[in-house]
Structure 1
Amino acid sequence: MSVPVVLIHGLWLHASSWQPWVELFRERGYRPVAPGWPGDAPTVEQTRANPDALAGHGIDDVVAHYAAIIEDLPERPILIGHSFGGMIAQKLLGLDLGAAAVAVDAAQIKGVLPVPLSALRSGSAVLSNPANRHRAVSLTPEQFRYAFGNAVTERESRELYDRWSIPAPGKPLFEAASATFNPHSPAKVATGNASRGPLLLIAGGRDHTVPETVVRATLKQYRHSQAVTDFVEFPDRAHSLTIDSGWREVAETCLTWLKEQNL
């Protein structure tokens, strides 16, 4: 029986943005699924039309949502997450709910300091207004260009925005931003779990939203665990690396790593 794979999107992207990955992983013999977050509608257009369905969902809600999906699978899946989806994948792996995880440009977990200025700017569309904690917020094409598409052409960035962007709940960003001051922060990950499956952290060297320094700082959080924790950097890639014209190189890197883990 082929191994299940759960693909977890992050803020401002619809789950359907994983479709090329779903097709590639299926071709390679896996059983991939790409469920949306709580409140996501089946399509980009339907999700944009009802942003209130997304509002108010925090990190714990999303973890519980994917844990319930995993519970219905015949075996522990491989978890692949991007941005906040990468944080969610790490949390699920730390809870021993995954056979392995790949966290691509993962949002910073509790313990990772400081927050680079470019990351603050990328999140400013939400964090600039405290009321956004309880809202769903959309990016403008210009904000998307800075946060996601700065390493591709302006035309490609706009095409990605038009095709995949959706409103995002503000709550996870506020939870991550306050993690340092909250001992029970939902951004906390069981980084010391020595019995968990292997983890691959992927960074984009030109990422404004989750700079490479954040991913390296995340790697250090796992220094007390004997479980496999690997790191790969794509120096010329930014936050759109899972959805832009270079997505396949990232996906093939994941597939190669999974083979090395006998998965």
Structure 2
Amino acid sequence: MNRPDTIVLIHGLWMTPLSWQNWLERYEKAGYTVLAPAWPGAEGDIEDVRRDPSKLNGLGVTEVADHYERLIRQLDRPPILVGHSFGGTIVQVLLSRGLGAAGVALDPAPIKGVLRLPVSSIRSSLPVLKNPANRGRTVGLTPEQFHYGFANTLNAADSRQAWERFHIPAPGRPLFQAAFANFNPNAATKVDLRKPDRAPLLLVAGGSDRIVPPSLVREAHHRYRRSPAVTEYVEFAGRSHFIAGEPGWEEVADHVLDWAVRQTA
């Protein structure tokens, strides 16, 4: 295998590629070509997206995965895939499709088959799930909701600053797809848990994450147990769902890259 020379970064809900800026610069300095494409409808200036997020209305997991698949298939060789939150779910979908040289899912939203439903996850998702009409809408988080679910390890002022810099309204449909996946045989978050030739996968949990607590990530890891493909789990103590941006992100970014390099050597 030719060692990958490209890293594709996939953001999650309520974020844009801007959330990857530090990682992008760090990985470029390490010699990689780094791509951080936006979800369909989230392209362009963040202020423009905030003013009119309607292009994201109704966007679901499959459409987002298809968007990244088209980009990846245009590359000369399989890249390293790194995704956060629903971006981590997309990474798993893409690996299940046979794409990528290695994949890393940071605080990934649950794939089909994960049955746990922690109270903090329910509370963090309620701004969207409390209204069925939100399935076809975009829904934003208040600074207080962002602090509780995303950035609970930061103080209120730093969390507010992160919200002002990175937050956009997000499509509600992916949350509904994940919430009801176990009742849908063709769920968008379904992956081939036994795929023998899947690229290596690293599942990363933040020890203080409220949206995707470690128990959800550990269960996802357990669901892959029947696959002979490499599937590993690591937990960073005291990290929130804002694991890619909170202080200490460098440790996580370096661990991710070191792991991917070992797996693709």
Return the TM-score normalized by structure 1: 0.98
Residue pairs, 1:227-246, within 5 angstroms: 227-246=229-248
Instruction: Determine the structure 2 residue equivalent to 1:93.
Output: 95
Q: Secondary structure at the match of 2:104?
A: strand
Structure 2 equivalent of residue 250 of structure 1: 252
Question: Counterpart of 2:114 in structure 1: which amino acid?
Answer: V
Count of residues in Structure 1 that have an aligned counterpart in Structure 2:
263
Q: Describe the SS at the equivalent of 1:261.
A: helix
Whether the aligned pair in 2 keeps the contact of 1:2 and 1:31 (CA below 8 Å) is no
Q: Point out where structure 2 has 5 or more consecutive residues left out of the alignment.
A: none
Hey, what's the Cα distance between the residues in 1 that align with 2:192 and 2:224?
9
Q: Is 2:179 the counterpart of 1:139? A: no
User: Which residue in the other structure is 2:121 paired with?
Assistant: 119
Aligned to 1:101, the other structure's residue is in SS state strand
2:187 pairs, out of 172, 185, 188, with 185
Q: Would the aligned equivalents of 2:111 and 2:190 in 1 still touch at CA under 8 Å?
A: yes
SS of the equivalent of 2:225 reads: coil
Counterparts of 2:5 and 2:217 in 1: how far apart (Å)? 27
Q: 1:40 aligns with which of 32, 39, 42?
A: 42
Aligned-residue CA RMSD (Å): 1.1
- Equivalent residue for 2:175? 173
1:156 maps to which residue?
Answer: 158
Partner residue of 2:226 out of 202, 224, 227: 224
> When the two structures are superposed, what TM-score results if normalisation uses the length of structure 2?
0.97
Q: Pick from 105, 108, 111 the counterpart of residue 107 of structure 2.
A: 105
Consecutive unaligned residues in structure 1, runs of 5 or more: none
- 1:2 shift after superposition: 5.9
In the TM superposition, what is the alpha-carbon distance from 1:246 to its structure 2 partner? Answer: 1.9
Structure 1 distance, partners of 2:251, 2:51, is 33
User: Percent identical across equivalent pairs?
Assistant: 49
Counterpart amino acid of residue 131 in structure 1: A
> Structure 2: which amino acid aligns with 1:16?
L
Q: Which aligned segments of 4 or more residues in structure 1 are displaced greater than 4 angstroms?
A: none
1: CA distance, partners of 2:75 / 2:199 = 17
